[in-house]
Structure 1
């Protein structure tokens, strides 16, 4: 073997080593890229798992918000019924007071007519200042109703009490209506959070699928 042949062999050996080195470098770079892609996929899988948990929590919040709204609606309906009952009670008390006022007015009208007939002294003696039960039953009542403001006072007291109870129930109704508004607002917030969580989950799932296509072009399902 001459000198030229030794040179050719050395050149081939050197070229072979260069090819091997380049191949090794390329393989190492490819492995690093593959490892990086695998790491990204692993991170996406973890993120999707966490986001699934967030979606479940958001759904639970929506479910609880639905329950809270229904409870608040029931409280409002119950309070509205109580308010209506108290309003009916006030109406009855007002009617009773008007009736008592009408009775007194009729008695006064009767008394004025008796006085005009010269019956005033007898009226004051036997009606306005009755001296006994027998006299009231046998003489006064057939003539005119006894002038008595006690009935008006009692009716006014009942009306004041009924109005007070009505105002209380209206305040309770107002409170329940405010609570219903707050619960509906919380429900809207919970639904918004659920939609956002689902959107984020969808975005992460899409990113994972795209990453799998890059990493496993012949098998896009990551296992």
Structure 2
């Protein structure tokens, strides 16, 4: 009987500890991405990610398995005009994937999910307290670039399971930059992104020497052209009606 009572008390204490501990637990940040530089070449779809992981605690940390996620979002359209809030998420085909730190090769593999792509890498090198580890991931993803006759655009998703303290994303193209969202600082987008949060950056380029526009260039250009054609058609019709004998 004493053993039974003791067991009941221990079970009760275990339930109390489990139920109370999470509410009083303090989340300790072990690491973050102190520097994240992304260069996207819209001419060939080549992406280069230079990543620095920093150990934030007073003990060595092994990053282990990490991942980059890629996703392409396409809105439904009426003719060439996108319909708001109708984005369809799709995975992105990638090739020529490699990861390295200096001369050291880093294991990497690609996993295709239903609506996104995972580039998984493995880092088993311990990072000493308050120190950092830098590495690079490169791959080709031409599908990220939407190409047209006069315009092309690229949308890049950025996010991680840890905080990104400093992000620089630089789109490169032989064409003229005419639109960016969010706004860029000079030739790149600079931001901070919290853990488990995804941000999308979009840049549009034109073969025409256009200035920076407040809306997507292809919408403004083709929309204006359609309005001009419509006005000309109305004027011609009115003139023909005026010249018809009564």
Same fold per superposition (TM over 0.5): no
Max Rg structure:
1
Could you say which TM-score interval applies, normalised by the shorter chain? under 0.3
| Alignment TM-score, normalising by the size of structure 1 | 0.25
Q: Which has the higher strand share?
A: 2
Higher relative contact order (CA 8 A, sep 6+): 1
Q: Which has the higher helix share?
A: 1
